[in-house]
Amino acid sequence: MNIAALEDELKSARENKDIEGEVAALKQLGLICQKNRKLTQAVSFLSKALTLVEGAGNENDRAQALAILGCAYWEMAQLKKAMSHFQEALKIQLRIEDVVGQAAVLTFLGISHWRKCEWSEGFSYFQKTLELQKTHKLKSGEQPRDGAYTSLFEALERGVQTLENRVRLGREQKAPLKILQPLFSMVPLYIFTGRQNEAEPLLQEARVLAEVLHKKDILDMIPRLNGWIRDFS
């Protein structure tokens, strides 16, 4: 459905005091804007949806609204706001035992720390995701795809594309430092988007670059990541 049709649905829902319809239209408008990289508009729509859900929705709806809005902030690189929303969503998901939601949000909390070069903190969330996957037999790389959390998985795919472009630019400039960080950051995104076989070659290249650049923090993390990749597969 296009934006004009959704705006008509939103207007009709408001006129008829149809809160559920209004939330659905706001959510879809937000997600379309997010896909088209109109992130300020996406946040505006999704914030309004969350406000309505907090006033009238159930806990499941609220957790989903928090996670989806957090994801829009994540794509804006407003990581503090993103992580705050993810943490609030996780509290609810734990209470209502929403396993798929927990897996999606734990993934994003880990990657948010990873983007801040907080490797150990991020890795602790990756391990929690793995434990959840094993306990509940979630398929590797597929936990964020389910139903309400499809948009989070799509954001991960866009994140991969962004990092791949940064690596390509670094290669063109023959700048090892500009290659290393996005390359290393891609590893967990590859895992969570089902590209386990491609992750290990990335780590091998990252090790070589980290040795050249004397990046001890990355070198120390690589063996832990290798073990995690094997367990995740």
pLDDT at 139 (0 to 100): 61
pLDDT at 133 (0 to 100): 78
Which range marks the domain in which residue 233 is found?
A: 98-233
N- to C-terminal Cα separation, the chain: 37
80 and 109 inside one domain: no
90 and 122 inside one domain: no
90 and 105 inside one domain: no
Domain closes at, from 97, 132, 147: 97
> CATH no. for residue 227?
1.25.40
Domain closes at, from 97, 128, 151: 97
d(CA 227, CA 199): 12
Give per-residue pLDDT as tens, 51-92. Answer: 999 877 689 999 999 999 999 999 999 999 999 999 999 999
Q: Tell me which residue has tokens 């290659």.
A: 179
> CATH no. for residue 10?
1.25.40.10
pTM of structure: 0.91
What's CA 3's distance to the chain center, in Å? 24
pLDDT at 144 (0 to 100): 45
**If 0-12 CB within 10 Å is exposed, 13-18 middle and 19+ buried, where does residue 227 land?**
exposed
Size of the chain, expressed as the number of residues it contains: 233
Q: Which of 154, 231, 140, 218 is nearest to 185 (CA)?
A: 218
pLDDT at 145 (0 to 100): 47
For the chain, which residues score pLDDT lower than 70?
Answer: 57, 136-147, 232-233
pLDDT at 67 (0 to 100): 97
Domain closes at, from 97, 124, 158: 97
Contact partners, residue 13, CB within 8 Å, separation at least 6: 19, 20, 21, 22, 24, 25
